[in-house]
Amino acid sequence: MADWQLAQFNVAKAKGPTDGPVMAEFMANLDLINTLADESEGFVWRHQTEAGNSTEVRAFDDPDLLLNLSVWASLDALKAFTYRSDHLAFLRRRSEWFDPAEGLDPIVAWWVPAGHQPTIEEAKQRLEQVTAEGPSPEAFTFRQTFDPPNGSPRSD
């Protein structure tokens, strides 16, 4: 098992209530996309409530901000799911359902010790960090990535 895995957190502002007509097609396909992720090579874990997703989680002051938090075996595995699977068709249509989250980058990634399941609070801190300071080895985007840290993670 590798020492490090890749966590990713993304947010977007829904254009309407999750039970409304604007979001209906997105919500109708959410289980399909989550299953596709769950079954993708390199998928490790994703945050979810008893509903099987994270659409009920309100982690920000803006109640329309929806989030997704997951862990992958590698950056290549996450990019394969994102850009080389059926997920891409939905990604291309994101502007139908979502607006950018004002004042936040849409995605952040960071390396975590293998087996670590990041919290929403940890993910928010990484997103705020990349938004305020730009990409770094501690919080980066797909546009500028960083290799995992050298050596094994510390267990403090």
User: pLDDT tens across 84-138, in order?
Assistant: 999 999 999 999 999 999 999 999 999 999 999 999 999 999 999 999 999 999 9
Domain that holds residue 74: 4-133
Phi then psi for 108, rounded to 5 degrees?
-140, 145
**CATH assignment of the domain containing 47:** 3.30.70.100
Place of tokens 């403090």: 156
Q: Does the pLDDT at position 52 exceed 60? A: yes
Residue 38 lies in a domain: yes
Give me the count of residues in the chain: 156
The pLDDT value recorded for residue 1 is 52
How many degrees, rounded to 5, is the angle at CA 117 between CA 114 and CA 118? 115
Where helices occur in 5-151 by DSSP H, the ranges are 24-38, 75-83, 87-92, 94-97, 120-133
Judge whether 67 and 11 are in contact, CB under 8 Å.
yes
Confidence of residue 53 (pLDDT cuts 50, 70, 90): confident
Residue 139 lies in a domain: no
